[in-house]
Chains A and B, each alone.
Chain A
Amino acid sequence: MLAQQLLNGILAGSVYALFALGFTLMFGVLGVINLTYGFYFSTGAFVALHATRYLHMQIWEALPFAAAIAGLIAIVIDELLLGPLRRAKAPELSSLMVTLGATLLLYSLMTAWFTTDIRRFPPTVFDGGAFEIQGLRITLSQILIVAAVVSIVGGLAWLLRRTKLGLAIRALAENDDVAQLMGVNVGGVVHLVSFISGALGGAAGVMIGLNYNAIQPYMGESMMLKGFAVIILGGLGDIRGAVLAGLALGILETLTAGYVASSMKDAVGFLLLVLTLWFRPVGLFGRIAAKRA
């Protein structure tokens, strides 16, 4: 049972990690806690659902498609909501409030359109095949999820560390004025970061939708709570921290449900969150407070 629970934990954790990655990137580079982020998660799941159902896409086509759409929507929302505030150099609190209001509006619109009924991918999208190795059971969709998360995280790390674009993003995270003076196209990079973040959130939504087969507008909202816990545990804006904290939270939750009590499952993440803020405000894996991307 331990092996199976660890597998469950790694799965849940890798989706937390993917989700938190976009969230923390947005915060680290753009300097905003963007509460609309959970909406991209729901959007990704819904786009993939409709792409598979009505455009008859395969899931490996629908995943990048949905991520791209979520990314584009993220650019539009970021530009509409936060662009004016950014240009006016408004304080962080106003951008937080704007995104809070926008989140409520977006979810209400989505609910009005799709209702809160739970939907699932058509059964033909991904056959529920599974491997069983010495009592450990892993389904094909779970393998796809882990493989996709690993390659997306790897790709992002490569982009940030090894490319000129990554350098520009990191420069922007340090100081946008200086980045601009150094010749970075700040507006373009802001859009790029919005796109990457939205796409990461959207991809996470597709995977959650695929693994648990439950898609509904407010799915992003409960994920946001977990997302907050993860990025605070990992250190705000810290990408490596977000991945490690996501995995840790997933495994911890699963083990709590499996060996302590399932009623404690959600409590444990937030307990850890409070403890982290008390004893290591920079996050479990954080170094001295600084913006990192």
Chain B
Amino acid sequence: MIDRRRLNLLAVACLGAFAFATGARAADPVTIGAVEILTGPNNKYGVAIKNGFDLALGEVNKAGGVLGAPLAIAYEDSAGNKDQAINAVRALIGAKNAPLILGPTLSNEMFAAGPIANQRKIPIVGTSTTAVGITAIGPYVFRTSLPEADVVPVTLRTARDRLGVKKVAVMYANDDAFSKSGYDVMKAALEKLGIETLTTETFGTRDTDFSAQMTKVKSVNPDAIVVSALVEPAAGILLAKKALGIPASVRVIGGNGLNSPKIGEIAGDAADGVIVGSPWFIGKADPVNQKFVAAYREKYNSDPDQFAAQAYDTLFIVADAIKAAGAADPEKIKDALGKVKHTGVLGPFSFTPDRDPADTSGVVVIEMKDGKFGLLQ
């Protein structure tokens, strides 16, 4: 007969061994994949996104990681190339066993690589893919970036409520898909908000002479001019507006094409007063954002941009989903993603049933002043 003390000892030893084994397993990080443009001409986007992920990753792991283990990201470089993005997604799923993939950077990379992840039933979360139809790829494709269609209505509503804009002139480039789709969004939003459109003028993206259109715009006396265009023609419109002496109180309200510091570089002081909406702005005053900006500056010695901010929030959203899923299981993570509620630097966030961002309350409206964007005062 084995004496009781030895049995106890054995039990303790077994327990200890078990505890040691689980302890060792818990130290294995949960590794998710990320496909971004890390080299080549568009790498500034991918690098900003990676910086945002890494900053958030540090914070997630400092707060205890996920599922009792640290979270890790395996990066693959797409170099902005669709085929390379497809291969990267395949490698992350096949070799790294990633239960979730972040990225890719560009919408057309997502259109190529998204179907692969969807087919293998691995959730893939784009942080910078704003094109129409991204989430229609399939039920495993998510995105956290607000499409323009969600930003423009907020801009126009703010202009109506804060600046008393009641009647506008609308201008758009009719030879460019981006400008035309922006115009469609503006038209619908203007109707919905009850803002009257006095005249709609078109131009070509490569036009430089806008005097005829602007003379007409001036003659109908709008409260504001709503413009859907790329940055170059938009700058031309601003210069023509100034040359014709349309007062500065008549603001130019733009879509995403005007949300670029280049507008001030080309149009100079004619760009003052331009209003655009943006999912994020560096000068947003809330403490979460201030903390993010300070931490980013400290870690990277540069200012974060919108891509970094979107990536930063996305990593917290994904970490929350993995925690809620309770396992590094793609199917469970996918279901959990749909239920995540997170408040980050872009404001409150949740997914719609179609896996797009549901909340636009984080959109900020900014205006150009002395060649720099600032919050609309």
Contact = CB atoms under 8 A, between A and B. Distances in A.
B331 interface: no
B43 interface: no
Interface in A212-260: 212-214, 216, 218-219, 222, 253-258
Contacts, number: 85
16 contacts: A1-B215, A1-B218, A9-B212, A11-B211, A118-B235, A120-B266, A128-B243, A137-B244, A139-B243, A212-B210, A214-B239, A218-B206, A254-B212, A258-B212, A262-B201, A265-B203
A205 B208 CA distance: 12
Nearest to B242: A128
Contacts of A254: 211-212
Given A128-B243, A213-B266, A254-B212, 18 more contacts: A1-B215, A118-B235, A119-B266, A120-B266, A120-B267, A130-B243, A137-B243, A137-B245, A211-B209, A212-B240, A213-B236, A219-B208, A255-B212, A257-B216, A258-B215, A262-B202, A262-B212, A266-B204
Contacts of B215: 1, 4-5, 8, 258
A263 B240 CA distance: 18
A123 B213 CA distance: 24
A265 to B, nearest CB: 7
A4 B212 CA distance: 9
Nearest to B219: A1
Q: How many residues of B sit at the interface, in one of the four size bands?
A: 20 to 34
Nearest to A137: B245
Given A130-B243, A222-B206, A263-B202, A212 B236 contact: yes
B245 A130 contact: yes
A210 B52 CA distance: 42
B269 interface: yes
Contacts of A123: 268-269
Contacts of A255: 212
Interface string B296-333: 00000000000000000000000000000000000000
B150 interface: no
Contacts of B240: 212
A120 B212 CA distance: 21
- Which of B204, B208, B269 counts the most A-chain CB atoms under 10 A from its CB? B208
A132 B218 CA distance: 14
Contacts of B203: 262, 265
B211 A12 contact: yes
Nearest to B202: A263
Closest 7 CB pairs of A and B: A257-B212, A8-B211, A212-B208, A1-B219, A254-B212, A263-B202, A214-B208
A67 to B, nearest CB: 19
A216 B218 CA distance: 28
B266 to A, nearest CB: 5
A8 B242 CA distance: 14
Contacts of A1: 215-216, 218-219
B174 interface: yes
Given A5-B212, A123-B269, A257-B213, A214 B236 contact: yes
A20 interface: no
Contacts of B174: 263
A4 B215 CA distance: 7
Name, among A11, A208, A214, the residue most crowded by chain B CB atoms within 10 Å (CB to CB).
Answer: A214
Interface in A99-132: 118-120, 123, 128, 130, 132
B335 interface: no
B266 A214 contact: yes
B216 A258 contact: yes
B183 to A, nearest CB: 12
